[in-house]
Amino acid sequence: MTATDWIVVGAGGLVGWGLVSWLITVIRQQKAPPVEMHQGTPPPASGRALLSVAELGNSWHAILGVAADASWAEIDTAYHERLAECERTQLSSTGTASDKQRADFRRAQVNEAFEFIRPLKKSL
């Protein structure tokens, strides 16, 4: 074998090793569990996660700030008002980091409550 042959074999081996390593990495990433979107952002003060379906069914109106028998228009208006409150806190230049974190958590609760009640109230 000449020196050129050894160079070609070595380069082919390196390229092959690189491709196999890349392929193994891609397969491992696909098998890994999904990454949480809000890692490291624990719920504020209360230390609780989002509500269960049973809790949400009993408290959606309190989260949105409406009566349990509110009309769809009242629910929709209250939902947008709660989101606006969260946005004002998020965009406030005087708000602390914990205030902004609480507003983010509150927005998640408001969205969850609205998504829970929307199919039920929209059908009425």
Domain membership of residue 42 (yes or no) is no
17 with 77, same domain: the answer is no
Residue range 55-86, pLDDT digits in tens:
767 788 888 888 888 888 899 999 999 999 98
Please state the rounded mean pLDDT for residues 26-39.
Answer: 64
60 with 116, same domain: the answer is yes
pLDDT given at position 51:
66
pLDDT at 30 exceeding the cut of 80 = no
Domain membership of residue 79 (yes or no) is yes
Domain that holds residue 63: 53-122
Distances (CA, A) of 34 to 26, 30, 39, 62, 76: 14, 9, 12, 32, 32
pTM attached to this predicted model = 0.55
Please state the rounded mean pLDDT for residues 78-105.
Answer: 88
7 with 63, same domain: the answer is no
Confidence of residue 39 (pLDDT cuts 50, 70, 90): very low
Residue range 102-114, pLDDT digits in tens:
889 899 989 988 8
pLDDT given at position 8:
93
28 with 70, same domain: the answer is no
Domain membership of residue 38 (yes or no) is no
Report the percentage of the chain scoring pLDDT > 90. 26
Domain membership of residue 44 (yes or no) is no
The total number of structural domains that make up the chain:
2
> Which one is predicted more confidently, 65 or 122?
65
Report the percentage of the chain scoring pLDDT > 70. 78
